Amino acid sequence: MAVKIALILLVQLLKTFLGYFSLVPGASGGVLFNAVTTGAILGDLPTGLMLGGTYELMNIGLNPLGESVVPNYNLGSIVGVFFAITVNKEFGTAMGIVVATLATMLNTFVQYLSLPFKSWMEKALANHEWKKVETIEFLNWFPAFIVGTAIPVAVVCALGQPAAEAIMNFIPEWVTHGFSVAGNALPALGFAIVLRSLSVEKNIEYLIIGFALFAFAGIGTVGATLFGVALALLKYKQAKDLKAVEANAGAGGVGDE
């Protein structure tokens, strides 16, 4: 198990490292990536994919705007999938939410680790030492990764199944049940946030079709998605043809005049 934990940390290290060279924010992966890679390393990719999607939905709409600190589901997804595979799904889901929530305090502490680097960077900027500025900026992420990701993951996962079962037996059943209920409710909240941002009221008919296909026709998510893509293409072609007709009509009208 120690080797697998080391591989999980190595993947996270490479992901964070490559994130600083990516021109697209978040291109190196996020919550879903963490869960899927953790599941693959532990030999249970379906669980990683399933819990990764659940945590990703919980993470939707959570942005650390200003000085706000939000639950760290990047860390919670790793721990959640680990315990979901080594103990059971319910306990893993609850652990992921708990760790993501408690990590808000850790994130606040991690931000202080960058203060010395910012001070060194200001001095380098004042002296026009541009290469030194780049070096300091590159090294800035490493202490935060060690304290904010490597140590928590290594410590929590190294406790293993016996410690997890002891914690599960110590925590009252109503608490774990509450986390389970919250875990099932939060994806619905994530969907609601997404639907609100998509102005669904303008295309409510497509939402109804998708819901009916999934709930009553027994068609899965992939099938409903394909129906949605087909309807979107149909609407796009109709709009394109309408513009062509309007353009031809306008051109004909000008010619007649």
CA distance 30 to 41: 17
* Statement to judge: residues 187 and 204 lie in one domain: no
CA distance 101 to 77: 11
Question: pLDDT tens-digit profile of 103-134?
Answer: 777 777 777 777 788 788 888 888 888 888 87
Residue 85, pLDDT above cutoff 80: yes
* Statement to judge: residues 51 and 85 lie in one domain: yes
| Domains contained in the chain, number | 2
Q: Quick one: pLDDT band at residue 179, thresholds 50, 70, 90?
A: low
Asked if 107 contacts 149 with a C-beta cutoff of 8 angstroms, the reply is: no
CA distance 124 to 69: 29
Domain containing 74 equals: 2-113+141-198
CA distance 208 to 91: 34
pTM: 0.61
Provide mean pLDDT across the span 76-80.
86
Structure tokens at 214: 């999934």
Provide mean pLDDT across the span 237-250.
81
pLDDT of residue 187: 60
CA distance 101 to 52: 16
In a domain, 156, yes or no: yes
> What amino acid occupies position 110?
V
Q: How far from 158 is each of 5, 47, 143, 150, CA to CA, in Å? A: 8, 20, 21, 12
Burial of 39 (0-12, 13-18, 19+ CB in 10 A): buried
* Statement to judge: residues 34 and 98 lie in one domain: yes
Residue 257, pLDDT above cutoff 50: no
* Statement to judge: residues 98 and 217 lie in one domain: no
How many CB atoms neighbour CB 185 within 10 A?
Answer: 11
pLDDT of residue 120: 85
Mean pLDDT of the chain: 76
Q: Quick one: pLDDT band at residue 255, thresholds 50, 70, 90?
A: very low
* Statement to judge: residues 169 and 211 lie in one domain: no
